[in-house]
Chain A
Amino acid sequence: MNSCVITFPGSNCDRDMDVALKQFGFKNKMVWHNDIELPKSDLVVLPGGFSYGDYLRCGSMASKSKIMQSVINFAKTGGMLMGICNGFQILVETELVPGVLLRNKYLEFICKNVFVKINNSENNYFKNIKKNTLELHIAHNEGNYFCSDDQMKEIEDNNQIALLYCDENGVVNEKINSNGSSKNIAGIFNKEKNILGMMPHPERMIDSYLSGVDGSIFFENLINNLR
């Protein structure tokens, strides 16, 4: 399986994503934001970080990078495109997924382990994962998902919510919603479910000596689904 990770100026989880993808069997390539064409890929990843220093709005300048036209074309023709953290912010700026990401409720950066409930497993990202909840890691300042009521209705009608912040037993409630996201949303799909944006970092959970191993479950499953 071929994958590629786009590096924007200010990306800082690009290496971590490269390490993770390779660890689970992807042949991964790094792509510079100023390039025009994508290499042949089964999966394209927009990594975490602070592309363009988060200036203007998080993800906004990166969404206009040269490479993004190819990324958009790739995704619109059904290619698997995943945005993690800042990558998710770039995805909402390109409007490939609906909604926006506001500053966290308490206006503070949050770095910690969280539990997320898989809300829709009828797709190549989460199909066949045996667990209902995953323990992942968040590290962001702007992860407070928000959208209009109309958009929310459409999102729900199309079953586009991918992940919800929950407690360790899978219960979704306001108390564990540390960034203030509408309905505890941690990740969201486009209508066709080939594009996934999510705040948690699976690439930081791939080794028992790190924060945990549920990221391994995610990547192992992902490559198997794509094979």
Chain B
Amino acid sequence: MVNEKIAIVHGLNKDEYKKICNLLKRVPNITELGIFSAMWNEHCSYKTSKLHLKNLPTGGKKVIQGPGENAGVIDIGDDDAIVFKIESHNHPSFIEPYQGAATGVGGIMRDVFTMGARPIANLNSIHFGSPQHKKTRNLLRGVVHGIGGYGNCIGVPTIAGQTSFDESYNGNILVNAMTLGLVKKNKIFYSKATGLNKPIIYVGSKTGRDGIHGASMASTIFDEKIEEKKPTVQVGDPFTEKLLLEACLELMAGNSIIAIQDMGAAGLTSSSIEMASKGKLGVELNLNEVPCRELKMTPYEIMLSESQERMLIVLENGKEDIAKKIFDKWNLDFAIIGKTTNSKKIELYFNKEKVVDIPIAALVENSPMYDRKWKKTKLPKKNKIEKEQFKNLKISNVLNKILANPNVCNKEWIWQQYDHTVMGDTIQKPGGDAGVVRIHKTNKAVAASVDSSATYCWAHPLTGGKQIVCESWRNLISVGAEPIAITNCLNFGNPEKEENMGEFVECVQGLSEASKYLNLPVVSGNVSFYNQTKEKSIKPTPSIGGVGLIIDYKQMITMDLKKIDNIILVIGKTEGHLDQSVFSREILNEKNGPPPEINLFNEKNNGETVLSLIKKNLIKSAHDVSLGGIITALAKMCIKGKIGIKIKKPNYLINQFEYLFGEDQGRYIVEIEKNDYNKVIEILNKSSIHYDELGIVTEKDMIIDDKSKVTIDELITSNTNWLTNYMSK
């Protein structure tokens, strides 16, 4: 018999259990309770975040589908559309890194091809604990193998990503996976079921006992018994997913499908309920028809399994044979398991008995929504750095140290394990500002990047939230793409704690403000709370996936310096902001202070002007200035181009370290030809843009103010060795 105690074991609280009994006007049975717990947990119901997410801008001229579907869709012209989304798989990846990360990639690709799109690019944002922590090395290796193991097998290139290390992830790593897919505008599929008595089809893998309560597990914090949760982690089979992808796209080419939904978090439960809810219909399923991998599975297990590579489809009447033939061809299970009804209820039968009878509205519209208490984070006071502190520092030493910093260093060890060239359209590989893939057989290309700045968000969530959107925008512009829209993955601690909830609320405010100003609507995303082990929560880590369009891929820009004697400009004003910079944290060992300020007007003006220069073919290479400031950005451009540079700090009042290592926002470094100099300066002046003329490209070596000299080989060694050495221990 179900009671309050059992409800609490299912992650529901007393009030929620009471509410369920009131809605049903009776005590639920165990399967029904399982279904409520799956639909009402944080992961599926967004009960904590809903109220705040409402403020994000989600619409716009180029938005075909905003949040609320399997993924967002944007218009890229000529009847082409891009479907994309980012999603977290944090908890499973900490418990079982290979499978956790692999199924994260599998899940997000399914979200994209469910909408009729062929996936064309994968990205990921992964965050680990301190490199000194005993678990970090194995977690990193497992996650990278998992991401590669799944994505490589499907044959979708992994074109960009981000990896960071911070001790706040020691007990709770983050794995966020993003996928972009391509679809024709008139061939987009949705999850809304319409029509009565339409057959409901189950396709893909068989249902097993893996991943039961995965979504609930993702909605709790970790403790020392976490290893016991291993059975809640799903096990992926990329081969089946590849078959499922091809079979679904083949079926989608015809006109048999009314609605389609992948079985992701909370499996058959959420997929069937979402389809019915969107169509204001009911569903009736016979659970004896569900293909099962194991014997004697109960309705409870069938409904809560998170076995991977499964889809639910509402078909047009009479199309069953056509559909079955396609799934037979691809050796996949195909079963008619139920139909749509007008009951507005979910009714499940097992062994001819009705085992579940719940109004859809009780599960969806009546799900809880919380306005949790939250605390504002004050802007920290600026640090006053004494001249003394700079006295014994040598530019070249500091630069080499920063280039070797785990958060700045070259991540080739990671991305060489991802197939980034399959599909034959990757024109900018990982390691640049954004990955770029061509739209097959056209002149168009899409750029995508994924960014997060947990340190800034931790110091001041409102500013940090704005900053990531701006960084995403800059990364897209740096490759010559016009930014179109973003997707967000909001990774936070325990929302029941006021500080953590405050971080969430203010980061979202920041995101919202910046994305409104820059006209970058948020078209999809997900929220991951409870990223916490015992009392220690992660730094607030919203990840932003940005997507932009390049009309003619021949105009794409890369960051490698191109030609000797070309002129180097810094676009945007440098104030020398060192608080929260890599320099302050790693060299001065100062962890406090405010993050760099965001000036949205300058951000927009600088970005749009750089983009217009690119479109006029006036820019030869470009790179945005981020971690480690101007000098780090320049070093990376030298490394990529295997060519030198000679620069002079302009006569500002700030000192050399502040100028070179400051992390002021809204800045780009661009390389221009001497002959174009006047034209470029005229455009910059006309747009009232501050710029510094920094120096010229030279044959070899980086020479700073005629005094400091670093060879390119030295830069390469500093930048590339850390990760390889670390992983070979």
Contacts and interface: CB of A to CB of B under 8 A. Distances in A.
Interface of A: 9-10, 12-13, 15-16, 19-20, 48-50, 52-55, 108-112, 137, 139, 141, 201, 203-204, 206-207, 209-211
Given A16-B423, A204-B421, 17 more contacts: A9-B242, A9-B330, A12-B155, A50-B155, A50-B239, A50-B242, A52-B239, A53-B238, A109-B149, A111-B152, A111-B415, A111-B416, A111-B418, A141-B152, A201-B421, A209-B556, A210-B426
A209 B554 CA distance: 8
Nearest to B421: A204
B243 interface: yes
Interface string B561-593: 000000000000000000000000000000000
Nearest to B158: A111
A203 B424 contact: yes
B419 interface: yes
Nearest to A12: B155
Contacts of A210: 421, 424-427
B416 A112 contact: yes
B546 to A, nearest CB: 22
Which of B155, B240, B420, B425 counts the most A-chain CB atoms under 10 A from its CB?
B155
B148 A211 contact: no
A49 B156 CA distance: 11
B688 interface: no
A30 to B, nearest CB: 12
B421 A139 contact: yes
Interface in B418-444: 418-427, 429, 438
Given A9-B243, A13-B422, A15-B423, A109 B152 contact: yes
B530 interface: no
B379 interface: no
7 contacts: A16-B422, A50-B242, A109-B148, A139-B419, A209-B438, A209-B553, A210-B424
Contact of A53 (B153, B416, B438): B153
B708 interface: no
B417 A110 contact: yes
A133 to B, nearest CB: 20
Interface of B: 145, 148-149, 152-155, 237-240, 242-243, 330-331, 415-427, 429, 438, 553-554, 556
A49 B243 CA distance: 13
Contacts of B155: 12-13, 49-50
Contact of B424 (A55, A110, A204): A204
Nearest to A110: B416
B427 to A, nearest CB: 5
B250 to A, nearest CB: 12
A10 B152 contact: no
B424 A12 contact: no
B427 A109 contact: no
A211 B421 CA distance: 8
Contacts of A54: 153, 239
A54 B240 CA distance: 12
Nearest to A19: B424
Contacts of B421: 111, 137, 139, 201, 204, 210-211
Contacts of A109: 145, 148-149, 152, 416-419
Nearest to B242: A10
Contacts of B417: 108-111
A53 B154 CA distance: 9
Given A111-B420, A112-B416, A137-B421, A55 B426 contact: no
A109 B425 CA distance: 20
Nearest to B141: A108
B368 to A, nearest CB: 41
A207 B239 CA distance: 29
A111 B237 CA distance: 21
Nearest to A34: B329
Nearest to B331: A9
Contacts of B237: 53
Nearest to B241: A53
Contacts of B240: 53
A55 B240 CA distance: 12
A139 B152 CA distance: 9
Contacts of B556: 209
A209 B427 contact: yes
Nearest to B238: A53
Given A139-B421, A204-B421, A50 B238 contact: yes
B418 to A, nearest CB: 6
A49 B419 CA distance: 11
A16 B242 contact: no
Given A12-B154, A110-B417, A139-B419, A53 B239 contact: yes
A139 B429 CA distance: 14
Contacts of B425: 210
Nearest to B246: A9
A203 B423 CA distance: 10
A48 B419 CA distance: 12
A186 to B, nearest CB: 17
A12 B418 contact: no
Contacts of B152: 50, 109, 111, 139, 141
B689 to A, nearest CB: 30
Contacts of B423: 15-16
A203 B153 CA distance: 18
A19 B441 CA distance: 10
Contacts of A207: 424
B271 to A, nearest CB: 24
A15 B422 CA distance: 10
A204 to B, nearest CB: 5
Contacts of A52: 239
Contacts of A112: 416
B416 A16 contact: no
A54 B239 CA distance: 8
A209 B238 CA distance: 29
A9 to B, nearest CB: 6
A54 B148 CA distance: 14
A20 B425 CA distance: 12
Given A50-B238, A209-B427, A210-B424, A111 B419 contact: yes
A174 B239 CA distance: 34
A12 B331 contact: no
A110 B413 CA distance: 9
Contacts of A13: 155, 422
A40 B608 CA distance: 55
Contacts of B148: 109
Contacts of A110: 416-417
A60 to B, nearest CB: 14
A39 B425 CA distance: 29
B296 to A, nearest CB: 27
A141 B149 CA distance: 9
Nearest to B427: A209
Nearest to A7: B246
Nearest to A14: B155
Which of A16, A139, A203, A206 counts the most B-chain CB atoms under 10 A from its CB?
A139
A110 B416 CA distance: 6
Given A55-B239, A204-B424, A209-B553, A10 B153 contact: yes
A52 B243 CA distance: 10
Contacts of B153: 10, 12, 50, 53-54
A221 B153 CA distance: 31
A134 to B, nearest CB: 16
Contacts of A209: 427, 438, 553-554, 556
Contacts of A9: 239, 242-243, 330-331
A77 B519 CA distance: 63
Contacts of B554: 209
Given A53-B237, A55-B239, A112-B416, A12 B422 contact: yes
A50 B151 CA distance: 11
Contacts of A111: 152, 415-421
B424 A139 contact: no
Nearest to B430: A111
A33 to B, nearest CB: 11
A12 B237 CA distance: 15
